[in-house]
Amino acid sequence: MRASRLPLLWRVFAINAALLAVATLLLAVTPVTIHAPIALVEAVVLVAGLLAMLAANLLLLRPTFAPLERLVRRMRTVDLLRPGQRLVEEGGLEVAELVRGFNEMLERLEAERRESSRRALAAQEAERARVAAELHDEVGQVLTGVLLQLDSLPLGASAAVEIDETKQAVRLALDEVRRIAQELRPAMLDHLGLPSALTELAARFEEHTGLPVERRLASSLPRLSPDGELAVYRVAQESLTNVARHARASRVELALEPGAGSVVLRVRDDGRGFEHPPDGGGLRGMRERAVLVGGALAVKAGPTGGVEVRLEVPAEER
């Protein structure tokens, strides 16, 4: 057993025993005598000896407890949204044991967290898909039926204008229902793949906000899992929504590029940026999705002002 692997009790005991032995030895070999009542010089020597021993004690004990202090600091700052942080096993037996226990606890917490976010996101996506299907199939059908009925009305000259206006309103409602359904569940993603779905997303964003989106969507990309694709799509969607809501930008860049065995999404605006490190439901959701697909998300100030969101998702293993 290495000295540093001694139990904490024995390390402290050994240090103190060594100091006491040294003090005893010094008393034995040096001509120090103590009288009662104590003389001033003797008192000074005694106090100096005591101080020297205390200082030595502190110096020798410090390294023993330093790993414990580091452990506490690390426990306070560990961030479950940045998984994979582990402490080095160091220090005496108990401290190393504590670090091992802490690392194992992190492992379990991260696994548990991954599982619960996965379940929450899957439930959310399933619910969105259900609402999208209902909107599209039920409400869409009813509105289409109304349009057909309006078309088949006998054209009385007096009501023709009103009927036309009603048809126009129904058509608008139909478009809106389709748009909402599309946003809830991007059918494009399932049928035409990520670049097409992002192109469509950008087009709708431009139409809605009047902001031009500069698209750099590589056509040949490493393959992502369906969850990975959905994560990229949802992060792009939330980032664009944030640009529209917060950035006051004049242009946006939406890039999808191949990385090293990964796919990299970048959404960059030239807006006012943020004053504080931002934290909201949207960003937290993005982070959670990134963690879940083993990706990395960074939200930071863009190179020329504004905000840059970057998501890297590892490609699916073959």
Ligand X SMILES: Nc1ncnc2c1ncn2[C@@H]1O[C@H](COP(=O)(O)OP(=O)(O)OP(=O)(O)O)[C@@H](O)[C@H]1O
Q: Which two tokens stand for residue 8?
A: 């904490």
Radius of gyration of the chain (CA): 34
| # binding residues, ligand X (CB under 6 A) | 16
Rounded Cα–Cα distance for residues 246 and 210 (Å): 15
Minimum distance, C-beta of residue 283 to ligand X, in the bound complex (Å): 3
Q: Is 302 in the site for ligand X (CB under 6 A)?
A: no
Report the DSSP pairing between strands 252-258 and 213-217: parallel
Choose between 151 and 275: whose C-beta lies nearer to ligand X: 275
Three-state SS sequence of 12-63: HHHHHHHHHHHHHHHHHHCCCCCCCCCCHHHHHHHHHHHHHHHHHHHHHHHH
Binds ligand X (CB under 6 A): choice among 198, 211, 283, 292: 283
Query: Binding pattern to ligand X, positions 205-244, x when CB under 6 A?
Result: -------------------------------------xx-
From Mg ion, ligand X, none, which one binds at residue 308 (CB under 5 to 8 Å depending on kind)? none
Q: Is 170 in the site for ligand X (CB under 6 A)?
A: no
Choose between 283 and 293: whose C-beta lies nearer to ligand X: 283
Q: Is 239 in the site for Mg ion (CB under 5 A)?
A: no
SS3 252: strand
Binds ligand X (CB under 6 A): choice among 92, 282, 295, 314: 282
Scanning residues 263 to 292, which ones bind Mg ion (CB under 5 A)? 282
Minimum distance, C-beta of residue 314 to ligand X, in the bound complex (Å): 24
Q: Is 303 in the site for ligand X (CB under 6 A)?
A: no
Length of the chain, in residues: 318
Element (H, E) at 197: helix 194-209
Choose between 252 and 313: whose C-beta lies nearer to ligand X: 252
Choose between 16 and 117: whose C-beta lies nearer to ligand X: 117
Minimum distance, C-beta of residue 211 to ligand X, in the bound complex (Å): 12
Comparing CA positions, the residue from 85, 187, 168, 60 lying closest to residue 128 is 187
Cβ within 8 Å of residue 265, ≥6 positions away? 232, 235, 236, 255, 256, 309, 310, 311, 312, 313
Q: Which stretch binds ligand X (CB under 6 A): 30-38, 44-52, 150-158, 279-287?
A: 279-287
Q: Which residues bind to Mg ion, rule: CB under 5 A? A: 242, 282
